[in-house]
Amino acid sequence: MKKNKKLSLSSIFSNLNPLTLLFVIVVIVSILTHFIPSGEYARVLDEVTGKTVVVADTFKFVEADKASVTTMLLSFDAGIQKAAPIISFLLLIGGSLGVITSTGAIESLLNVLVKKFNNEKKKKIIIAITMFFFLFCSSSFGMGQEMMAFAPFIIILMVSLGFDTITAIGTMILGYAIGYGSGFLNPFNLAVAQDIAGLPYPSGLEFRIILSLILYLVAVRYMINYANKVEKDFSLSISPNIPEEFKSKSKFENINKMSKSHKLVWLIFVSGLAFLIYGATMKGFYLSECATIFLTIGLLSGVVNKYNLNKIFQEFSKGAKDMAVPCLIIGFAMAITTILDSAKILDSIVYYLSLPLKNLPPIISAGGMVIVQTLINFFVNSGSTQAAITMPIISPLAQVLGVNQQVAVLAFQLGDGLSNMLWVTCGTLMIGLGIGEINYINWFKFISKIYLVLLAIGVAAAMFAQYINYGPF
């Protein structure tokens, strides 16, 4: 009887919907507001970055309303409203991809790639190239949620090569998380953190590039080993269920070459992506501008495929519908921070997590900062927001502890970035799992091993950086 009960419990967790998981977390956080004292730091506007930052050593306990059942239920609507810019972005991307998919351009390109890379050695190359691409994009211009525009392409490609959906999403997320964790130019976490710490941007570049390569090599080996295991025996897949829309090898295996219209669609897509990268790095483009670029890509793709306006928006609507669940996932994740903010316990969590660092020697403190930032990233998953909240506290604390400012920023990056592959509050991760219909429990089984290895490397890197006087600032 006990065995059957255990199997039943396992079955429940293996089929857990992402929205169910997030709902449960919101309930737990709501309960915690009754046990964690409310508190807050004073805040001022940083005229250089334009962000509101906390003032160190100003924490005080305050009175605040604890989360009630009504507050908890209202938080889901509030979270969706707070996520409106991201939801708009996802819907426009989904619509654009719907148009592109309907043209057959994806199938024709995938046919070329599968034929080119469909042997043992070249399959490893495609995994390595894919991970490096997302690492570079997140590390250089801070690509986040927008990377999931590529998810359907990557899933179909990996499935066609004999792998599973976790191979596709894992390759993307590992590259993205490492890029944020050791990014050499990232304007969203690195630039804000270095400005608050009084460091020239992007100082310390060489160390972060070397660290990125080390983390990348470890991660890509793990990913290739898993993919090879799945290819040889698909029953070993952690997530063997592949959504029907990604089982499309039969749709393009008889296509011999790309048509002229398919080439034009990809020319438009690549040109749009190049403009997006330019705008994000040089002009400060963010979600609104990036979403508009994708909308334009979708419209032009329909035009070169000789669609009329009505046909374009018929396909656009189909693509946007596919983003409904990912949009809800983002809104539910935002409900967590809504509860934390309303009960005023977010600053308290940051305060309590920073206290143990005051009793550690500098080298140990450097590693401890990575762990602290990792835990904070669950509650504050936005890199720039986390920098604005924590760096004004960690930066002066680092001075007191004898830890270099450059090391403090590195610790922030590692804690903020690497844990994006783990926490359910990371929108990019949850969108990817939603698109691939990957259960979070299954994902956790897959990612936890490599995450602990990468985290250990990150902690060691922060300690080594302090030892060699990294900076020095």
Do the domain assignments include residue 209?
yes
Q: Which domain holds residue 419?
A: 17-35+42-467
Residue 307: DSSP 8-state = -
Do the domain assignments include residue 225?
yes
| pLDDT tens string 281-317 | 677 777 788 789 889 999 999 999 999 999 999 999 9
φ and ψ at residue 44, rounded to 5 degrees: -135, 160
- The torsion of the CA quartet 278, 105, 319, 158, rounded to 10 degrees, works out to -90
- 38, 63 contact by CB (below 8 A): yes
Do the domain assignments include residue 418?
yes
Do the domain assignments include residue 198?
yes
Q: How many CA atoms lie within 13 A of 288 on its CB side?
A: 3
- 287, 148 contact by CB (below 8 A): no
Q: Residue 21 has which token pair?
A: 């998981």
pLDDT at 363: 93
- Report long-range pairs for 76-80 (Cβ below 8 Å, ≥24 apart): 76/26, 76/331, 76/332, 76/335, 78/334, 78/335, 78/338, 79/331, 79/332, 79/333, 79/334, 79/335, 79/336, 79/337, 79/338, 80/327, 80/328, 80/331, 80/332, 80/334
DSSP state string for 375-425: HHHHH---HHHHHHHHHHHHHHHHHHHT--HHHHHHHHHHHHHHGGGT-TT
Residue with tokens 């219209």: 261
* Residue 7 confidence (pLDDT) above 80: no
Do the domain assignments include residue 330?
yes
SS3 437: coil
* Residue 8 confidence (pLDDT) above 70: no
* Residue 220 confidence (pLDDT) above 90: yes
Pairing of strands 52-54, 43-45: antiparallel
| pLDDT tens string 282-291 | 777 777 887 8
Interacting residues of 310 by C-beta distance below 8 A, sequence separation 6+: none
- 345, 63 contact by CB (below 8 A): no
CA distance 157 to 163: 9
Do the domain assignments include residue 380?
yes
Do the domain assignments include residue 11?
no
DSSP state string for 24-46: HHHHHHHHHTTTSPPEE--EEE-
| pLDDT tens string 182-197 | 888 777 778 788 888 8
Do the domain assignments include residue 10?
no
- 366, 458 contact by CB (below 8 A): no
Q: Evaluate if pTM is beyond 0.85.
A: no
Number of separate domains in the chain? 1
Amino acid identity for residue 71 in this structure: T
| pLDDT tens string 351-404 | 888 888 888 899 999 999 999 999 988 888 777 778 888 888 888 888 878 889
54 pairs with which residues across the strands?
A: 43
Please, what sign has the CA dihedral across residues 113, 114, 118, 122?
positive
Q: 43, 26, 37, 148: which is closest to 385 by C-alpha?
A: 43
